[in-house]
Every structure is written in structure tokens, then in C-alpha cells.
Structure 1
């Protein structure tokens, strides 16, 4: 089965544009809403990773990891913190700048960074025991990702 791109929109932000303040560490620091347009019928779960792709020290610095979201065409914004989210079908959040929660952009004042949301559609849940880091998640997800897509936003 050939993997096609996952197309999704992020509330109040178009690809390549400025990150809305409410979704940053200088605003309400809440996760945006996601609308998925071409989700495969084979998708069982979704995962989202937010990374600072212009971090001067850490390559693709992880801000947020959430996985095992039951496959759906809309993910509401303002996802609460916590390791396991019963409100979202027992989705799990991992370790990043946001420790088991969303943590939006907050670069040093006067420095513009680029941030990327990558969404993955998977054919199964990922049973990640121990520390749920991006690296460990990606290793476990290998072979289960059937679609992926990304949106980039900038913020300073």
C-alpha cells in the first residue's frame, strides 16, 4: 500500500504563516484544533508532534508529542495536560518541552523560529512503555505509519 500525504488544517494558521499567539507560550499556550481532510480508512490512531525546526542547539526540538488518538477527522483544541487522556480515547502524551502536555512556541525575544506540526495516521495503537519520547515513539511507530503530513508556522 503506497503512503499518501495526510492533509490537515490547523485552526487560525495556514502553512508557512505566523503562529497564532493563543497557541504560544506568550499567549494561552493551548493546542490548536486540527481538521483532517483525507484520512485513510485503514487508520486506527493518530499522532501529532510539534517541533522547533530552527532551534540553535537541539535539532528538531520536541515541544509536544501526543499519540494513540482514535482516528477521526477533527481533533478539538485546548487538549488538557496528562499522561493518559480519557477525554480523547485514552490518547497518551509524551515528554518534550511540554512534559505530558502541549507547549507552544516561545523562542527568545527578537529571534524567529520555525515550528512544525507533523501528524501521523497509524494502522494500530503504539504500546510505548517507559519514557514516551519522540525518538522512542518513532522507533515503535516504524512500519505502522500509513500517512503523514505537516504544517509549518513561524514565531518570534
Structure 2
């Protein structure tokens, strides 16, 4: 079985629903992390990391919208709003700082003019946890994931605003 990530909120290549759009920076979304489910994790998976990344952000380095580490290997889903202050994250999971400057989910809020890709990824790791705190950068988590990754599954949503 292939390692697969899905969401009941959108299919791969769909427009990101308003529920998952940021509330601020010119947007009026609900800023809720979407429900996510995964299956087919590689044998030997000891934990998961979930990320949301916009490679099209005009920063030179993209934009990290959500990073959750230390998800137990028995977890195969997160409910809507788990990264937005609602219940649903496993007890040992840690949300780290995003490019909004704080831990937790930050929805889509691209500048006007083009459609951006929002890449949701779940990584299967060969370690039970990463040594991270909520104030570490997504780049540090990415470095650690690179060294412990057994597999990854991604789902991409699109979102943009017309030029004003």
C-alpha cells in the first residue's frame, strides 16, 4: 500500500476552502487547519511530522504555514482545527513557529496577483520524537526530518487573489 495523505476538505489540486484561509493580511478566512488523514506509512515508522508550505511565496524561501512534530505512530488523522487552538492534536505533538512568527496553523494569505500552491505533507520518521521546542524554526525541523525520513505523502491545494 502506498503512503497517502488525504483531506475531506479538498482533493489534490483543488482550491483551498475559505475555512483554511487566514483571517488577516487582506483575507477573511476562518484560519482552521484542515482535517487530514493518512494511510500506508512505511514499516518502522516511529513518529510523524505534518507541514504546510507555500513554495510560491515571494520571499526567496517560501512560507511555512504549519509544522507539527512528534505525532505518535498510532495517529493516522488530525481533525479540522487541530492546529488552530482546538482540541485534536495528540498529547506529545509540538507545533513549532511558522513564518507568521508563532506556533500553530496559519492559513493561506498570498499577495494579490497569482495562484499559490499550499503543500500539505506528512513525513514518517524512524525516531519516536524530534528534540524540538515551539520556538524552533521550520528549517531546523526540516533538517531533522531529512535525517530521519522513511517516507512522505503530500497533498496540494491552490489559492490566490486577483490583482487589485
The TM tier, using the shorter chain, reads 0.7 to 0.9
Aligned counterpart in structure 2 of residue 77 of structure 1, from 80, 85, 91: 80
Q: Secondary structure at the match of 1:67?
A: strand
Per-residue CA deviation, residues 77-125 of structure 1 (Å, 9 max, x unaligned), is 211457xx99512211111134111001011244321111121011221
Contact 2:2 2:41 in 1 (8 A): no
User: Kindly tell me: are residues 86 and 20 of structure 1, through their superposed partners in 2, closer, same or farther at Cα, counting changes over 3 Å?
Assistant: closer
Q: Could you list the structure 1 runs, at least 4 aligned residues long, displaced by more than 4 angstroms after superposition.
A: none
Output aligned runs, 1:40-59, within 5 Å. 40-59=42-61
Q: Distance in 1 between the 2:140 and 2:155 partners?
A: 22
CA distance in 1, matches of 2:37, 2:83: 18
Unmatched segments (≥5 aa) in structure 2: 23-27
Q: Deviations over 1:40-63 (max 9, x none)?
A: 342121111111111122322111
In 1: Cα distance, 2:11 partner to 2:88 partner: 30
Root-mean-square deviation over aligned CA pairs: 2.3
Aligned length: 151
Q: Distance in 1 between matches of 2:120 and 2:20?
A: 12
Segments of 5+ residues of structure 1 without an aligned counterpart are: none
- The answer on whether the counterparts of 1:120 and 1:147 sit within 8 Å (CA) in structure 2 is yes
2:5 aligned partner: 8
User: TM-score normalized by structure 2?
Assistant: 0.81
